[in-house]
Amino acid sequence: MTRNYNYTLSLLIGLGGGKFAEPVYLTLPGVLFADGITVADFNLDGKADLAVSVGADFTQQALILLGHGDGTFSTPVGYDVYPRGSGGVIASADFNHDGLPDLATGNLSVLLGNGDGTFRDLKYYDAFVAGVGLKFADLDGDGNLDAIQAGTYLGPNAVAVLRGNADGSFQPAVLFGSSTFCPYALAVADFNRDGHLDVVVPDSDESRLTLFLGDANGTFPARRDYNLRQPAVGNEPETFEPAVGDLNSDGNPDVALADYLGNQVILVLGRSNGTFGVPEYVPTASYPFSAAVGDLNGDGNADIVTSNSGVISVLLGEGNNKFQEHVDYPTLNSAGFLVLGDVNGDGKLDVIATETSREAVSVFLNDGSGHFSRRIDTFVKVEPYGLAVGDFNHDGKLDAATANRDVKHPIVVLLGNGDGTFTLQETQHMALVPVKLPWAISTPMAISIY
């Protein structure tokens, strides 16, 4: 699934062998844009459903589309969520331990699921004027999911932790001061291998990476800042979402960052004591936007893929933080978001990428050696802005969906053929059924700056 710049969602149904059906376009009357997508079984019928974040800058809804199991969906039901700074983030998890999927959107709005595809008890928890990178993890080991989010340039410059309660509610936000001015996303991992989760936040404007080391209480008593500037060049890196993996096979999580202005990927290697080494710089093709880490050739070493202007770059790892020179594979124009997945069922990781300006989703088939000799393009006829993959029709083949900024087609569904192609489905025009829930605002924040 992809989200597109012209306000639609696209779904591609997998047919097996890496092929996909033609895109299904999900039209949502009255929706200005679709920003984010998540997939879950909200009504427990064994079929994949969609939750989509839609609206305008200060009007936001969570739309629920129940899947029929054949790549089609029911009339969407919309729930108003708190709009300010939501940024299109939407996620699903079981927050209250009842075995039913719940829903959350940034800044933090939480809807508890009833298990039949409907939701209740809308609550909003204020942390930032505008927050990014919403993640959920059990930071303090109490069995409840906690929320982590970073503040933007609108302030405050901090990472917020909202501890989860067993009933699905969240405690007031605690802020941990950050030097980041303009973060785009964050990542959660145990970087010092002490059994407690840590957080890294890159700053897309200030050439900095901040590491927050977690403790058993779910707090971050230690903060370390790392300069990402390349001394010999003096450039100002522009980085976005971090990719985490063991890049040098030492058992410690490392961070890979696509540097859009530097035409490179920045590698920040983790050490077992919770520190990072001096950043290393590996060239890519021009203007890398996003990066993904995975073992593309089955040698047990982490490899890197970046999306760039006109190509994707593949950097095969040698296991000691050394990477072979990037090999580039042409795209239609400029690849945007990318994910790794086995599209054709051969057990090898393929690359799925959005091509916004050419209104397409491209699949690069891996031959097993980490080389991609074949590219298959599916034109979704709208500009994809977001991408999600999964088996939407339960045929064992990977499908895709896009969220799009298109009034007529906010959602496009592509059913995979299993060989890298998709089959076009009829456009679905759907009227929106709104649901109004009373607001429940959380108690005022008890804010601590560390």
Structure confidence at residue 8 (pLDDT)? 57
The residue with tokens 């429940």 is 440
Does the pTM exceed 0.85? no
Q: Decide if 8 contacts 27 (C-beta within 8 A).
A: yes
Q: Other CB atoms closer than 10 Å to residue 448's CB: what's the count? A: 12
What residue ranges do the domains of the chain occupy? 2-435
Structure confidence at residue 230 (pLDDT)? 82
Q: What percent of the chain has pLDDT over 70?
A: 78
What are the distances in angstroms from CA 440 to CA 13, 82, 287, 330? Answer: 38, 10, 44, 50
Structure confidence at residue 324 (pLDDT)? 96
| Residue 406's pLDDT band (cuts 50, 70, 90) | low
Structure confidence at residue 24 (pLDDT)? 62
DSSP state of 170: B
The residue with tokens 């029911």 is 74
Length of the chain, please? 450
pLDDT of residue 410 exceeding 60: yes
CA-nearest of 63, 61, 56, 72 to 407 is 56
Residues 6 or more apart whose Cβ sits within 8 Å of residue 2 = 9, 10, 337, 354, 361, 380, 384, 385, 386, 387, 388, 400, 401, 402, 403, 404, 412
Structure confidence at residue 308 (pLDDT)? 93
pLDDT tens by residue, 9-48? 666 666 665 565 666 666 655 555 666 788 899 999 999 8
- Give the least confident one: 186-190, 205-209, 275-279, 441-445: 441-445
pLDDT of residue 370 exceeding 70: yes
The CATH classification number of 2-435 equals: 2.120.10.30
pLDDT tens by residue, 209-248? 999 999 999 999 888 999 998 877 767 888 888 999 999 9
Q: Other CB atoms closer than 10 Å to residue 179's CB: what's the count? A: 14
DSSP state of 30: T
Task: Select, from the ranges 242-256, 350-364, 373-387, the one with the highest average predicted confidence (pLDDT).
Answer: 242-256
* Integer Cα distance of 354 and 393 in angstroms: 22
